[in-house]
Amino acid sequence: MLKGIAGRTAIVTGAAGGIGSATCRRLHAEGANVVAVDIDGAGLDALTAELGDRIVAARADVSDPAATETFFATAVDRFGSVDMFHANAGVESKVNPIATFDLADFEKVMAVNVRSAFLGSSAAVRQMMTQPSAGKIVFTASIAGLKSDAGVSVYNASKHAVIGLARSLMKETGALGIRVNVVAPGVVDTRMMKPLEDGLGALAGIDGATLKAALLAGIPLGRYAEADEIAATVAWLLSDEVPYMHGEVVTVGGGLYP
């Protein structure tokens, strides 16, 4: 068991998706109370039915300021505190060269990936400042927040922004004892990958399966990550096992980075 998780309360966004649901399962197994936030109500229902007690579903659009305040209030009402916050919800962008940009896609990706992280971490800090025990925040960025590929400038920009946000936040919260870190996955086997494989393939003039084979060939471990391998790192960063880790960007990429 990881130190400092049992009996404490975590909010996880994107909780119905691959990495978010894996994080909920892991934190719940470590003994945490979990508030699972997602826009996908059916996915949340399945997760809460699976985990049973100590989990509350909060259906919300994480880019909405009022909804964000509401799911934090739900956590405090139900469990009394918010000790861990995993700002994880995110969407892939369309694969589009900048010359043929899609402004609606830009606005959507920035709202879900960046505005939500900004709103959620602000609410987390405000709540954690009122509590006796220091809190922890982990953002899900991506290796796409550290390096870039053609055709996915919007997604790359959003994940660079998440890392910038976390690095600024950690300077504000260090003196408060609130630890802030980032997990930067490489390629994870979740719903998000198929549209990216197809889109990047189309950009290169090949099909999605051929593009996937090329992607795999570039990963030293030779496979995509499983979501629970990312969740393990998130749980570790949210635990009391690593009290001096603050402002770190932890890549989990099977050798993809650098």
Ligand X SMILES: NC(=O)c1ccc[n+]([C@@H]2O[C@H](COP(=O)([O-])OP(=O)(O)OC[C@H]3O[C@@H](n4cnc5c(N)ncnc54)[C@H](O)[C@@H]3O)[C@@H](O)[C@H]2O)c1
Q: For binding to ligand X (CB under 6 A), which residues are involved?
A: 14, 16-20, 38-40, 43, 61-63, 88-91, 112, 140, 142, 185, 187-188, 190-193
Q: What does the alpha-carbon distance between residue 60 and residue 99 come to, in Å, rounded to a whole number?
A: 34
Residues 148/156, Cβ–Cβ less than 8 Å: yes
Measured from the CB atom, the residue of 5 and 87 that comes closer to ligand X is 87
Measured from the CB atom, the residue of 5 and 252 that comes closer to ligand X is 252
State the minimum distance, in angstroms, from the CB of residue 144 to ligand X: 7
State the minimum distance, in angstroms, from the CB of residue 152 to ligand X: 11
How far is the CA of 40 from the CAs of 35, 47, 51, 56, 249, in angstroms? Answer: 14, 11, 17, 14, 28
Token output for 13: 């966004």
Closest CA to 137 of 222, 238, 13: 238
Given 155, 224, 244, 257, which residue is catalytic? 155
State the minimum distance, in angstroms, from the CB of residue 97 to ligand X: 20
Measured from the CB atom, the residue of 4 and 143 that comes closer to ligand X is 143
Cis-peptide into 258, omega within 30 deg: yes
Q: Please name the residues in contact with 12: beta carbons below 8 A apart, sequence gap of 6 or more.
A: 20, 23, 24, 27, 34, 35, 36, 37, 86, 88
Q: Please name the residues in contact with 203: beta carbons below 8 A apart, sequence gap of 6 or more.
A: 95, 97, 150, 151
Measured from the CB atom, the residue of 4 and 119 that comes closer to ligand X is 119
Q: Please name the residues in contact with 243: beta carbons below 8 A apart, sequence gap of 6 or more.
A: 179
Measured from the CB atom, the residue of 32 and 39 that comes closer to ligand X is 39
- 155: annotated active-site residue: yes
Nearest-CB residue for ligand X? 17
Closest CA to 28 of 18, 17, 20: 20
State the minimum distance, in angstroms, from the CB of residue 178 to ligand X: 21
State the minimum distance, in angstroms, from the CB of residue 91 to ligand X: 5
**What are the catalytic residues?**
155
